[in-house]
A and B are shown apart, each in its own frame.
Chain A
């Protein structure tokens, strides 16, 4: 891929007060591992009601960026605001209140294997609202599971359900506390194409019906263009392109085009001789 270049005014560093519609503001975020800048000067805003898709190749820093957004890691540089709170400055105690306002869907689902699907969904409700009667918790769990069509599986353990059902159950758990913000890490990874379409439609429906703003990290282009209202393409830790799905499709950068079309970066070697020449260099 070519050297990353930010191409939109929206990616420019922004400071000062957060706009009334901004749910997430990321300002000059950098993450450094062993001296390597995995994220470098990342800036963007997410408006209320948007579904922002963060795309990029393997190792481009998209999962690292998500971990900064949900507070699992602290960036070395830059600031992040979630729903008006600057999470990069918050104490652990204060951050808990912010965490109640967002849900996270992990790549593997991350359901607790020792609990039933129902108990998994009930966990955040029981923990954050300990005085709720058990009957109320049961009703809330049934409501959340019905949103994802999993009501009849609430008594099963995660090991007893399929991968797609696990994802849906995990989505129900992410929505348990009625968050206004949803983060998804590779939500369709490991699903067959039919399940991917079903899951995308479910995500769209839930975001629309519940008024949830979503940030979805994925490298599944079909899924990204199906659900995204705005997209960010990361490359080597920097924002390479940003815009609506139509803008990304029409992006002038050939590297961006190649990425979204899934074309290989270099020509495929034709024969064994050229392969040997490549690895042996001039000595061949």
Chain B
């Protein structure tokens, strides 16, 4: 077996082990008297959720503008300009909202998590935790993963509204549409399935991004250079996995 393939399977096996460990410490150990580190969880929710709000708003607002302009060009030809709101809403809720939010989180928070944990690995802080009898997965990974998993759907919903608002601006200012009609049409065309599939995607993407980020942070080797290399690998792997899992989830929700 080529070395690259062997290393790939080693990574997958180690990642699965870490993921299983995370699931144990997040959902099983609290029932065995190991308390959840709520202070750390809230701190991570703040860092991941609140501090990412502005960038998610900005990206999603511009995405709403782009989508409205793109769809208007086509819909105008078939006399369906009033459908712009619905199209923007469905597109961002089903697909673009969860994916773009996850990509922003991978770039902003995933990279930060990998770099932070990697630096801790290099500085022997993870070893220090272990020798103090503290489990690094419980101490460091669980708050980061849960923080991202809780905050990603919230950011997605807020981002979706921001994109719809962007679409609304284009519709009102350049397409002579009524704002009330835009929002009414948007919610009319948006189905419950779009909302829950978008939310499930968001949770899956956040789980992948946070676990990949933690994994690459934990396996850092070779000092500052290793931290940089691992951070790049973490972001690239996260984005690839977001797109692959998006394809699988879309097929599951809309093709099966």
Q: A: which residues have CB within 8 A of B?
A: 70-72, 95-97, 99-100, 102, 104, 106-108, 110-113, 123-124, 127-128, 130, 183
Check B131–A123 contact: CB distance below 8 A: no
Q: How many A-B residue pairs have CB under 8 A?
A: 47
Pull 19 A–B residue pairs with CB atoms less than 8 Å apart, ordered by A.
A70-B131, A95-B133, A99-B130, A99-B132, A99-B133, A104-B127, A104-B132, A106-B124, A110-B123, A110-B124, A110-B125, A110-B128, A112-B125, A113-B123, A113-B125, A124-B132, A124-B133, A127-B133, A130-B35
Contacts of B133 in A (CB 8 A): 95-97, 99-100, 124, 127-128
Q: State how many angstroms separate the Cβ of A105 from the closest Cβ of chain B.
A: 9
The 5 closest A-B pairs by CB, nearest first: A110-B128, A99-B133, A110-B124, A96-B133, A104-B131
Which of A71, A108, A111, A127 meets B131, CB within 8 Å?
Answer: A71
Q: State how many angstroms separate the Cβ of B200 from the closest Cβ of chain A.
A: 33
Beyond A110-B128, A112-B128, A124-B134, 11 additional pairs, beta carbon < 8 A:
A70-B131, A72-B131, A97-B133, A104-B127, A104-B128, A108-B124, A110-B124, A110-B127, A111-B125, A112-B125, A127-B133
Q: State how many angstroms separate the Cβ of B3 from the closest Cβ of chain A.
A: 14
User: Which residue, B120, B123, B130, B132, has most C-beta atoms of chain A within 10 A?
Assistant: B132
Contacts of B123 in A (CB 8 A): 108, 110, 113
Contacts of B134 in A (CB 8 A): 123-124, 127
Contacts of A123 in B (CB 8 A): 132, 134
How far does the alpha carbon of A112 sit from the alpha carbon of B127 in the complex, in Å?
11
Closest-by-CB residue of A relative to B116 is: A114
Check B128–A106 contact: CB distance below 8 A: yes
How far does the alpha carbon of A113 sit from the alpha carbon of B121 in the complex, in Å?
12
